[in-house]
Structure 1
Amino acid sequence: MTKSIAIVADRIAWEERQLIEAGPDLGLTVEWINDESLCLGQSDVTALSRFDAILLRSRSYTRGGLIATLAEESGSRVINSARAINLCENKAVLRTALRAANVPVPEFRLVLSRSDFARALKEFAPPVVLKPVYGGMGKRVALIRDADAAHSLYDYVEDLGHAFEQACLVEPFLAGGASTRCLVVGDVLVGVAEFTTGGEDWRNNAALGNLSRAAADDPEVTKIVNGVLDVLGPGIYGIDLFQTSEGYVVNEVNHAPGFRAVAQATGVNVADAIGGYLQEVLS
């Protein structure tokens, strides 16, 4: 019997189109639902009740966890789980949970004020990275190479309108110019790609169009990915790693990962892998 899947997202990007087009061959009907059109909140009724499962791919760092929480309350099967999405949306909370489970993460300081920022700069001498607690795709991530420029840059943080936008992390800059994206479907590591900067921008985020190539199998990577899954549970994740002199650390985990770069670098049919996982979950 064909299963019905709702992709809840703010738009149809390349990944969503791949999933929609792959659906019929996998015994799935896949429909996009705008994440701004749901008006959830009544515990026993939901606009998503006609679907067998909800694939939550909202790129908003405020909508995803809220929608997943309310959809689960009303009885919908949501992938990823509300708990996992809420953890992934907050870098400070996620890193704390991973660190408690002995999964390696970068050193960081939570910065909620200029005094926090000044203290972080004393504890981590530049170069350091300033990044928002809520956010992704490399946006508003700043490399501070010079202490003289640091407080001028922080002026821009103070001018942001909302407190959640002002919450930041400061961490040492891990030089090396590459990051590793691990794409997980269910509890399987389906593809690993290395991203390197392709131009003047120091950030090596795939969303910025930087260079990618398939990465070799690495038992250390597999061990870290399994540690992340022990914390979050099975799901669909993009786990981003940095390599240090002491080994890999988890920079962040994306709960609605873009997978075009990994698919193109590795040749993995990610849409088929996700479809197979959805069928397995619903069987």
Structure 2
Amino acid sequence: MKKLLAITNHFNPSPEVPLIFAETPKGMEIHSSFWNQLLYFYDGKNKHTLFFETNKKPNDLTPLDKYDGLYIRSDGPVDNDTMSIVLREAERRNIPKLGFHPYVGGSRIGSKADTMHFCNTNLDMLFPMSFFGKYTMIEKYFDTIVKKIGLPFVCKPNNLSKGRGVSLIHSKKELKKYFSEILEEYGTKKSYFLAQKYIKNKGDVRVLVIGKKTHAIRRYTEAKDEFRNNVSLGGETQKITISTETKKLMKKIVKKLNLDFAGIDYIEYGKKQIFLEVNRTPGLTGVSGAHNKNMFKETMDYIYKKIK
């Protein structure tokens, strides 16, 4: 019996995680834990041990080396030191790591702005014209930003997902109100933002990559007062076919970012692809529905093959 340790986030856990785990095949057992349910022990010499509380042993500790694989999700804030130690210890023990990988070539790739910078400088991917900084700086230099990217512009917290906190800004007064509401709802940890040029569109493309397989959909919204196309916010989906060249690019992006799974979003702007985001913990519901295929099972089958 293969044992998989699945570490997810206790803060705002994704409702899709249980749907993935429900597809666990015979011959594999999943032990679930949260990032805040571990103890790290160093013996003062050269032995390091990570212990986890899990759903199988809620009041006991199980060492990391009892597992055959590690499935990682980060659907919210995670202490960087915690994640670094877990990933290094798994690597030292040759335990396969699947899911969210924040490190590429020794460098940590963080949230939206960091991913955008990495993808543009390493893969020549084009993104909307953007400013990134703490909310105080974006507010202070509002006029400078408007001169460059115009009004309205899109403002989004640097480390939220599924369209949460994304807004279309039409004035400085509206920006101040927006910052006040976001900081009140999510706290000061969400104080860094991206301000991006707004590009009108009739929907964006989401390409779900699972291993070497790609599944594409067009996401769009028909709501009059909504510009976000996210499925989690009620967006519609349509199965589409992408070119062989685009498929190769999607796989290249995933390989460069050292990922097993990704949701890559872009807008077709003339003959160009303007990328919006590379989501390293992508939602599966919209693609499953549009393709009439169980992406939760496909994800779990991929994990199982990797740890066999």
Question: The TM-score by the shorter chain falls in which range?
Answer: 0.7 to 0.9
* 1:15 aligned residue: 16
User: 1-side partners of 2:14 and 2:305: how far apart?
Assistant: 25
* 2:237 aligned residue: 212
* 1:110 aligned residue: 132
CA contact (8 A) 1:15 1:258 kept: yes
Question: Which SS does the other structure have where 2:275 is aligned?
Answer: strand
* 2:199 aligned residue: 174
The 1:64–1:138 alpha-carbon spacing in structure 2 relative to 1, beyond 3 Å, is farther
Deviation at residue 238 of structure 1 after TM alignment: 1.4
Does structure 1 residue 197 correspond to structure 2 residue 217?
no
CA contact (8 A) 1:4 1:53 kept: yes
Deviation at residue 154 of structure 1 after TM alignment: 5.4
Show CA shifts across 1:135-155 (max 9, x none).
Answer: 1111111102x3364444455
* 2:103 aligned residue: 83
* 2:49 aligned residue: 45
Question: Which SS does the other structure have where 1:274 is aligned?
Answer: helix
CA contact (8 A) 1:6 1:32 kept: yes
User: 1-side partners of 2:253 and 2:175: how far apart?
Assistant: 35
CA contact (8 A) 1:71 1:78 kept: no
User: 1-side partners of 2:202 and 2:274: how far apart?
Assistant: 15
User: Partner letter of residue 52 of structure 1?
Assistant: D
User: Partner letter of residue 30 of structure 1?
Assistant: I
User: Partner letter of residue 8 of structure 1?
Assistant: I
Show CA shifts across 1:126-185 (max 9, x none).
Answer: 1210111111111111102x3364444455279558654221111111111412211111
- Cα RMSD after superposing both structures: 2.8
User: 1-side partners of 2:284 and 2:82: how far apart?
Assistant: 22
The 1:150–1:14 alpha-carbon spacing in structure 2 relative to 1, beyond 3 Å, is closer
Deviation at residue 29 of structure 1 after TM alignment: 1.6
Deviation at residue 214 of structure 1 after TM alignment: 1.0
User: Partner letter of residue 33 of structure 1?
Assistant: S
Does structure 1 residue 54 correspond to structure 2 residue 70?
yes
| TM-score, structure 2 normalization | 0.79
* 2:180 aligned residue: 156
- Bigger mean CA offset, 214-223 vs 262-271: 214-223
CA contact (8 A) 2:14 2:75 kept: no
* 1:94 aligned residue: 115
> Unpaired runs of 5+ in structure 1?
none
Question: Which SS does the other structure have where 1:32 is aligned?
Answer: strand
CA contact (8 A) 1:40 1:71 kept: no
> Unpaired runs of 5+ in structure 2?
53-63
User: 2-side partners of 1:41 and 1:213: how far apart?
Assistant: 50
User: 2-side partners of 1:229 and 1:184: how far apart?
Assistant: 8
The 1:276–1:45 alpha-carbon spacing in structure 2 relative to 1, beyond 3 Å, is same
User: 1-side partners of 2:210 and 2:68: how far apart?
Assistant: 18
Deviation at residue 22 of structure 1 after TM alignment: 1.8
Question: How many residue pairs were aligned?
Answer: 277
User: 2-side partners of 1:40 and 1:77: how far apart?
Assistant: 20
* 1:242 aligned residue: 267
User: 2-side partners of 1:228 and 1:3: how far apart?
Assistant: 30
Does structure 1 residue 63 correspond to structure 2 residue 78?
yes
User: 2-side partners of 1:52 and 1:67: how far apart?
Assistant: 20
Show CA shifts across 1:33-54 (max 9, x none).
Answer: 2333224575721135122112
Deviation at residue 108 of structure 1 after TM alignment: 0.9
Query: What is the percentage of aligned positions where both structures have the same residue?
Result: 17
User: 2-side partners of 1:241 and 1:121: how far apart?
Assistant: 23
| TM-score, structure 1 normalization | 0.85
